Amino acid sequence: MRPDYVDFHTHLDLYPDLARAIAACDRKRVATLAVTTTPKAFERNVELSADSDFVRVGLGLHPQLVADRHLELDLFEKLLPRTRYVGEVGLDRGPAHYRSFELQQSVFGKILRACAQQGDKILSLHSVRATKPVLDMLDEHLPPDRAGVVLHWFTGSKADVRRAVDRGCYFSVNEGMLASDTGMRVMREIPIDRVLTETDGPFVARGDKPVDPGDVGFTVEVIASTIGLSAEATRMQILLNLKRLLNTG
């Protein structure tokens, strides 16, 4: 079945009821990448989404958890052949995680090399305060023809955006990102044919509660108003972008 919307980065297993979250994405016909934060979470996500037409599961090892979970890298490598999708992975050089940055780089490098070796992967990448190191490591370890790359909630400079575009990256944006001046600046610099929507739920809130699974309609409207297209034209462009991404990984 054809999707109506795209949510290419969400943590469905961090909502109170994973099965209901998956069902919500199916009901709304949202092509969804359900990222995981540790390899141990992957199996349950796959099991509960096995009959879903719209939810796919990413195998993740979140950089904020690397200090405590790096020993799960062996499990990650064991599970990698079972999925095309990888996420959430990447680097985080924020104050709370700076001490583990060298370890993060070691783990991320091994993940990128494993993806390059297997090929045909689609990655959703975290790059908080680490845009240059993430792009440097992509250039070093993951040739563009071996995987599709989506930069999640990207906050790099104009030069970083151009560099990422030149190597074929896509960008997933959410309403929390677009509520900030930095996020809007980045949005204006991304070519519309490289934009995907995401919720990053349940970490993005609307009012006093997390945004619902798959609820990207408002994000589509903000993108549309930013670039001067109708919401419908923007929605269709994002679906086309996803199709192109999935055909190039």
Predicted confidence (pLDDT) per residue in 43-71, tens digit: 999 999 999 999 999 999 999 999 999 99
Dihedral pair phi/psi, residue 158, rounded to 5°? -60, -40
How many residues can be counted in the chain?
A: 249
Residue in 66, 78, 18, 51 with CA at minimum distance from that of residue 202: 18
Predicted confidence (pLDDT) per residue in 203-234, tens digit: 999 999 999 999 999 999 999 999 999 999 99
Report the pLDDT averaged over residues 106-111.
98
Report the pLDDT value the prediction gives residue 31, as an integer from 0 to 100.
Answer: 98
Report the pLDDT value the prediction gives residue 1, as an integer from 0 to 100.
Answer: 83
Q: Which pTM value belongs to this model?
A: 0.97
Q: Is the pLDDT of residue 97 over 60?
A: yes
Report the pLDDT averaged over residues 129-156.
97
Q: Is the pLDDT of residue 173 over 90?
A: yes
Are residues 249 and 125 in contact, defined by beta-carbon separation less than 8 angstroms?
Answer: no
In the predicted model, what is the mean pLDDT of the chain? Answer: 97
